[in-house]
Structure formats: C-alpha cells, structure tokens
C-alpha cells in the first residue's frame, strides 16, 4: 500500500473512510475522551478481523493528541501526566517492577533521534537501587535504559541486542520508544501513541527492523511513539487525489493510485522521508514529554516539578 501509518488511530480512520462505513468495525473498539484540549482515543483490536482491518496486531492502542503542547506550558504538563496515567493503566507497575527502557532510532538523524533523546532524560535507578537499597523509597522503581543504535552502525539487529540484554538483566517490563510515521501532517509531534503490542516493522525512518514484542522477547513490552515523519508516498497520494478530483470529480482506485505513486517517485519511493523544517524543536519537546511521562509512571511519588528539575 502506498500510504502507510504507524498510528492505529489513523489506520482506523482510513479504513472507515475507504469503506464508507460508520465507525464500528467488528473486532475494533474505539473510545474517545476529551479533556482540557487533549483528545485521548483508546482503540482495542480484539480479533483477527480487527487485525486485518487496521493492519495492526491484537492489543490496546492509546493515542494522546495535544495540539497545544508546542506553545503552552499547561498543555505540556497535562500531556506528561496523562501519559504517565495511561502507562500505569496499560500495564501493572508495583514497587518490585524492574523496567528496561529502549530508545530505538539513530541519534544522528534529527527526526529519528526521539528514542535516544528520551533515554538521555530518564531517571535511571537500577544500579543505585542495587548498591544503596536503604536510600530508596519503594515508590522509586528499578529502571535501566539503553539506546542500542541502528543496524547500519552496529552491524547487528536491534532485536538481538535487546534480547541479549534482557537475558542478563531479567526486567519485568520493557518500554520501547520510537519515532513513528503518520499519515497526516498535522499529527507530527503533537500526538503520542502508547501500545501494549510492542514494536512491529513500521513506516518510520528505519522500517526494516525486526519485531520487539512479548512473543519475541519473553517479557511484557509496551511501545511509546511520536510521529516525526510522513511518507513521501503520502504527499504524492494527496496530490494525485487532488488532481483526480479536479479532472474527474472522484479519486482513483487504490490500484491505479498505487501505480501512479510508484511512477511519480520511481526508485526514490523507499528512501525519502518528509519532515517539518523545525524538527529540532519538535524532537526536543516530544522527548521531554515522553521522558517525563515514563519518569512519573515509574517513580510514583515524584511531582511534575521534581521531574522537570531532573529532566533536561
């Protein structure tokens, strides 16, 4: 398919739109909540039909859309707290939980640096809890973190590195953080997706990676992502729709459109990404939000102010 998205929310919108059906799909439950300018959509894919429809594995996907996060301190604080709440609701965390946070992506490519940037802003405690147990409150849980690098610079599949580390460290929970690709330009940097299905080969900057999920790693895996790029095919697709609407008052068939996209982009179709020109500030704000959400979820008695003073 020409147009790809890593967001379950967009997959559901596209399916509904393409099939001209109402919201309800068999095997897909959708629940929307709005609060102080932030929209939270919880999508549950419950059966094989839901999997096929949205092209995502069975599981829960929470999308937090906070369009004001860039400009408003309040929206940013709300998004951090909301993310920490959703992490605690999607997985069980208690004082014994040991978590490994994995920052996927290439720190030398700005829109792919979200994962490594989040790692650098985490409150890592595992080594201190082991050696100075008496100083730590039960509400500070044990946290490890790694940014393993990408295939091109390590020569190793990221999944292999993570699996090796897990076999040594034995965490109870793995949180993978990654930059995503969205279908809509408007969702870049203001949307956070949280899923209990782990990471699957995606549409982001480096889309060839192996699965990182409970089945492959043997431990509960949750994934947190923020869209930072759009596929070049998405731009081409929108342009083709616009042209067809103009000439024939209707959009082309999927098959025809895919052929036209391939023709327009030729050999570059898989090698390009589309990203905002202010991607440096986008990544900075998004990585602070994700890191803070994780810090507050794993270290329960910390206030937003404590965390803010620590991060960054």
Q: Among residue numbers 263 through 302, which ones bind a copy of itself (CB under 8 A)?
A: 263-265, 268, 271-281, 288
Q: Does 255 bind a copy of itself (CB under 8 A)?
A: no
Parallel, antiparallel, or unpaired: how do β-strands 38-45 and 173-182 relate? unpaired
Near a copy of itself by CB under 8 A: residue from 246, 249, 250, 255 = 246
Q: Does 254 bind a copy of itself (CB under 8 A)?
A: no
Near a copy of itself by CB under 8 A: residue from 217, 237, 294, 297 = 237
> Which of 6, 282, 310, 309 is CA-nearest to residue 143?
310
Q: Does 93 bind a copy of itself (CB under 8 A)?
A: no
Among the residue ranges 37-45, 81-89, 144-152, 213-221, the one whose residues contact a copy of itself (CB under 8 A)? 144-152
Compare residues 218 and 312 and give the one whose CB is closer to a copy of itself: 312
Distances (CA, A) of 195 to 157, 175, 202, 249: 22, 10, 14, 39
Least distance between a copy of itself and beta carbon 117 (Å): 11
Near a copy of itself by CB under 8 A: residue from 40, 41, 60, 125 = 125
Secondary element (H or E) of residue 221: strand 220-231
Q: Does 305 bind a copy of itself (CB under 8 A)?
A: yes
> Which of 146, 162, 151 is CA-nearest to residue 214?
162
Q: Does 63 bind a copy of itself (CB under 8 A)?
A: no
Q: Does 66 bind a copy of itself (CB under 8 A)?
A: no
Q: Does 143 bind a copy of itself (CB under 8 A)?
A: yes
Least distance between a copy of itself and beta carbon 308 (Å): 5
Near a copy of itself by CB under 8 A: residue from 83, 205, 221, 224 = 205
Least distance between a copy of itself and beta carbon 8 (Å): 23
C-alpha of 162 from chain center: 18
- Full DSSP string of 120-178: HTS---HHHHHH-GGG--TTB-EEEEE----HHHHSS-HHHHHHHHHHHH--SEEEEEE
DSSP-assigned letter for residue 39: E
Least distance between a copy of itself and beta carbon 48 (Å): 32
User: CA–CA separation, 282 vs 138, rounded Å?
Assistant: 34
Compare residues 33 and 95 and give the one whose CB is closer to a copy of itself: 95
Least distance between a copy of itself and beta carbon 185 (Å): 5
Distances (CA, A) of 65 to 9, 35, 188, 189, 215: 10, 11, 10, 9, 29
Site pattern 145..164 for a copy of itself (x: CB under 8 A): xxxxx-xxxxxxx--xx-xx
Q: Is the dihedral of CA 193, 197, 203, 208 positive or negative?
A: positive
> Which of 199, 197, 202 is CA-nearest to residue 273?
202
């Amino acid at each position: 398919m020409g147009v790809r998205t890593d967001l379950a929310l967009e997959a559901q919108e596209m399916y509904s739109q393409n099939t001209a059906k109402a919201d309800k799909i068999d095997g897909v439950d959708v629940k929307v909540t709005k609060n102080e300018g932030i929209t939270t959509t919880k999508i549950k894919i419950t059966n094989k039909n839901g999997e096929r429809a949205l092209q995502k594995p069975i599981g829960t996907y929470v999308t937090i859309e906070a369009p004001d996060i860039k400009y408003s301190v309040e929206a940013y604080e709300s998004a951090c707290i909301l993310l920490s709440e959703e992490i605690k609701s999607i997985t069980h965390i208690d004082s014994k939980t040991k978590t490994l946070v994995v920052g996927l992506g290439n720190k030398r490519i700005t829109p792919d640096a979200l994962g490594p940037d989040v790692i650098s802003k985490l409150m890592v405690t595992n080594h201190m809890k082991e050696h100075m147990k008496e100083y730590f409150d039960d509400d500070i849980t044990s946290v490890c973190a790694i940014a393993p690098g990408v295939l091109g610079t390590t020569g190793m599949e990221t999944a292999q590195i993570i699996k090796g580390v897990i076999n040594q460290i034995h965490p109870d929970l793995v949180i993978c953080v990654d930059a995503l690709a969205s279908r809509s330009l408007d969702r870049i940097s203001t949307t956070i997706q949280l899923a209990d299905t782990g990471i699957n080969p995606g549409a982001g900057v480096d889309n060839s990676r192996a699965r990182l999920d409970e089945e492959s790693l043997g431990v509960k895996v949750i994934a947190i992502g923020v869209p930072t790029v759009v596929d070049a095919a998405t731009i081409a697709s929108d342009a083709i729709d616009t042209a067809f609407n103009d000439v024939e008052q209707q959009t082309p068939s999927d098959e025809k459109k895919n052929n036209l996209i391939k023709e327009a982009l030729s050999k570059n179709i898989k090698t390009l990404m589309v990203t905002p020109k202010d991607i440096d500030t986008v990544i900075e704000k998004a990585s602070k939000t994700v890191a803070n959400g994780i810090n507050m979820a794993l270290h329960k008695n910390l206030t937003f102010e404590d965390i803010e003073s620590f991060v960054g």
